[in-house]
Amino acid sequence: MNIEQARFNMIEQQIRPWDVLDADILAMLSAVKREAFVPLAHKALAFVDTELPLGDGQFMLSPKLEARLVHDLKVQKNERVLEIGTGSGYMAALLGSRAAQVLSLEIKPALVDFAKSNLHNAGISNVEVRCADASKDADVLGNFDVILLSGSVASVPSTLLNLLKPGGRLAAIVGDEPVMRAHFVTRTGDKTFETRQPWDTIAPRLLNFPEPSHFSF
């Protein structure tokens, strides 16, 4: 496989057509080597428009979804970012190339080790990966300019919204299959938030966040 041609095709045929047109973002996607974060068994699929299994029921998001989330969050060089769901570390690497500092939480110990190794090998030093359950442990983390959930939830967790600094943004994929929507929430005041829902997608569930009851009476 011609890796650079495959990377070019991924950007031009998947990512750019989904309104990711910022030249800096496209350059970042060329510079951060996605294949270096993909499990060995799936290297040949590194640039394919699909989720990739990471083991233990976890998945790496599709390239175009990763790119669109980073693009729409408009992360700045002076910002502190929290990611929920490290996976292979690729999204954290993208965020790290845009932000001052990234803290990424992963609930699966094996993926924590995998992501740390991938980030180290890629020479990325401004990303910290911790083994933690973000549905329970988030309130001790401090405040952030940007929060990204790298997976879906039934609703946007208020515990995470409370970690946003004034003007901070949170991105999450919200809903249930077959209909989920991207939610971009901006903190506009001490207790006020504004939400945009600009596009539809589907993403694997993050573990342990609340699910609505499906009982009916």
CATH no. for 3-201: 3.40.50.150
3-state SS of the chain is CCHHHHHHHHHHHHHHHHCCCCHHHHHHHHHCCHHHHCCHHHHHHCCCCCCEEEECCEEECCHHHHHHHHHHHCCCCCCEEEEECCCCCHHHHHHHHHCCEEEEEECCHHHHHHHHHHHHHCCCCCEEEEECCHHHHHHHCCCEEEEEEEEEECCCCHHHHCCEEEEEEEEEEEEECCEEEEEEEEECCCCCEEEECCCEECCCECCCCCCCCCCCC
State pLDDT tens for residues 49-65.
Answer: 999 999 999 999 999 99
pTM value is 0.95
State pLDDT tens for residues 169-208.
Answer: 999 999 999 989 999 999 999 999 999 999 999 999 999 9
pLDDT at 217 over 60: no
Lowest mean pLDDT among 120-134, 159-173, 203-217: 203-217
